[in-house]
Amino acid sequence: MATSAAASKPIDPSIILHPNDIAAVPGILGEIVTRGVTALSPTGDDAARLALLESARALVRALEKPRETMIRHCWADNTAFAALSMGIEAGVWAHLGSDDEPKSVAAIAAATNMEEAWLARLLKHVAAMGYIHETGHDEYRPTNFSKALTIPILGAGYRVFTGPGNTGGLSKCVSTLVSYSKKTGYTTPNSMSDGNLQFAFDTKYNMFEWLHANPPGGEQFNLHMGGYAHGRPRWMDDGFYPVQERLLDGFVPAEESAALLVDIGGSMGHDLDGFLKKFPEVKGRLVLQDTEAVIGQITALDSRIERTVHDFFKEQPVKGARAYYMHSILHDWPDDVCLSILANIKAAMGPGSRLLINENVIQDIGAQWEATALDVMMASLLSSRERTRVDWSRLLEEGAGFKINGVYTFANGVESLIECVLPEAE
């Protein structure tokens, strides 16, 4: 096939020396002024803050020259990630954040048993990237961000992506994705047993098995999922899913064993705990289901929440529940595996049951970057995916035989709840 002259024309190298989109800067500055007034007003909400944040990111992208963007990607961001991760492992951020007073590199090194010269180089880069404040020569004080790295659910993400041991952590799957994709002819990863993770680590394990085979990978990953969920909109929040209307109204448990909500693969019980705090007077059983390894990690959970060991590839033991709920479960698996999970739930549902799927629904236009980043991550780790509205319809309706009653999306589109019923139910 002949290539057009326009397509084969070399790119003028001089564009390297020009900002990426200088023409867009005046418009972006106008957005920042307008959105800043809203975001900083007493009545400003988080949506206004997020809009302002996106404008600020757009301004940086427009002002950067291509060379600067390349250096940030290839040199700055990844080395900052390594330095931040090292600081978590060595206890640097815990010591620096013990109060708001500036601390010398010598004092931090003494407290953490790090070599002073090496620590000085790392902290200088972390400060240059804006993650801690430089207050003098080899002297620093913390930021909210560096303090937050000491909170287990936030720091765990760095640890699971850089370790354990010399494995390279899950970051190795990202760095090998190009080679794996080239090997497979640049086609969509679709095998959980012969995907990019198996290529990266030369293993037969899937991601979950690999993490548990390399402790404390499994524990860190579960904490990381808590950090991922922390602060994100919850499906029971006001303005998200109409819980009273769609779930509670009309539910009159005929017997004590009737279940209101079954959280399948619910990890440490974050969602059920939040639901119970929001609706403390609800009737019916609240059932948390996950593997024995996960359930065994739970140290504190409301006594009304039943902890149950269950494999969702097997028959669902709770029959006829008002709702079966899954949060970020199906995105872990390719469609054929999802269908087997869904079949077990469908077989347990009754006429009044609902299936509530709390996942990303990627927008057709203007997709949110957290969702698109996670989509590529899921492909590299599990040969799975985040899904668009069309993808969900194909999986749930055409594949599994459900009827989608509605898709409820909140705020900036980072969380959605898909309500499904049996076709004959409504």
Structure tokens at 322: 């008002």
pLDDT recorded at residue 255: 79
**Given this model, what pLDDT does residue 156 score?**
96
Tens-digit pLDDT profile for residues 300-321: 899 999 999 999 999 999 999 9
For strands 323-327 and 354-359, give the pairing.
Answer: parallel
For residue 7, the model assigns a pLDDT of 61
Task: Tell me what pLDDT residue 225 has.
Answer: 84
Tens-digit pLDDT profile for residues 60-73? 999 999 999 999 99
pLDDT given for residue 246 in this prediction: 95
Q: What is d(CA 291, CA 22) in angstroms, rounded to the nearest whole number?
A: 53
Query: What local confidence, expressed as pLDDT, does residue 6 receive?
Result: 54
CB 169 within 8 A of CB 161: yes
- Identify which has the larger pLDDT, 253 or 359: 359
Whether the pLDDT of residue 359 is over 50: the answer is yes
- What is the mean predicted confidence (pLDDT) over 239-250? 94
**Given this model, what pLDDT does residue 2 score?**
47
Tokens 């972006």, located at residue: 28
- Per-residue pLDDT tens for 79-92? 999 999 999 999 99
Confidence of residue 411 (pLDDT cuts 50, 70, 90): low
pLDDT digits 0-9 by tens, 137-150: 999 999 999 999 99
pLDDT at 412: 66
Give the pLDDT confidence score for residue 426 in this predicted structure.
Answer: 56
Structure confidence at residue 42 (pLDDT): 79
- Please give the model's pTM, rounded to 2 decimal places: 0.88
User: What are the tokens at 151?
Assistant: 């909170």
Averaged pLDDT for residues 151-157: 95
Catalytic positions, please? 331, 359, 386
Per-residue confidence at 1, pLDDT binned at 50, 70, 90? very low
CB-hemisphere CA count at 13 Å for 64?
14
What are the Cα distances from residue 357, in Å, to 7, 70, 320, 361? 44, 38, 17, 10
Q: DSSP strand E in 301-395: where?
A: 305-309, 323-327, 354-359, 361-362, 387-388
Buried b (16+ CB within 10 A) or exposed e, 251-271: beeeeeebbbbbbbbbbbbbb
CA dist 419 and 246 (Å) reads 9
408 three-state secondary structure: strand
pLDDT tens track for 7-44: 678 999 999 999 999 999 999 999 999 999 888 887 77
